[in-house]
Chain A
């Protein structure tokens, strides 16, 4: 089973490019049993939302 360090690496990479089916499956299995990584995945997505707003501020 994949560990959390590897899972966060893949979650970050998933924001850059599509992961292979096998890798995605492994990651999803890890997320199913790991609450800390599930939280991290949402945090990563939020960082993207927040950072993009700095670059194109809403009037």
Chain B
């Protein structure tokens, strides 16, 4: 592909890249910067790409690394101790379980979740649910599952223990499960 073709491909990908970056960074300005840089870096690779699919894979990989760098920078500069879960977002989940630790409302199976993945509206809901997870569990979940970092690395970056990390992931998963049940899989309760 020549430079013009890559430019066209990148322009088409921009909204998707921006959504991805905003979700991770939760800052419009920093997301714009990261996407801009990723697009420029991809453009520098002109000539290497056989097709639009390769450009997409490549630019997403660059953006992912930029986001990880930015999160690392924040962890270094910010007060990472803040990342240890505190009491109000610890292991209580009293809104989900009764005093004996049994479900207040037991979850039910989702109908055909694989098909949801093919529905663009599902992704809007999924991202809204991710946004709705409290900041710390949300951050750890995204580092783990979207950016694909290992738990060990996340602990190191955020300066928390492995068990803190697991508590936050558990919290995020329960919250997301609940949110998708209500907002997508039609659990009318």
Contacts and interface: CB of A to CB of B under 8 A. Distances in A.
Contacts of B147: 55
B177 A43 contact: yes
A49 interface: yes
A20 interface: no
A36 B177 CA distance: 12
7 contacts: A3-B100, A36-B106, A39-B108, A40-B177, A46-B113, A55-B64, A56-B57
B10 interface: no
Interface size class of B (residues with CB under 8 A): 35 or more
A52 B106 contact: no
A49 B117 contact: yes
A18 interface: no
Contacts of B189: none
Contacts of A56: 57, 60, 148
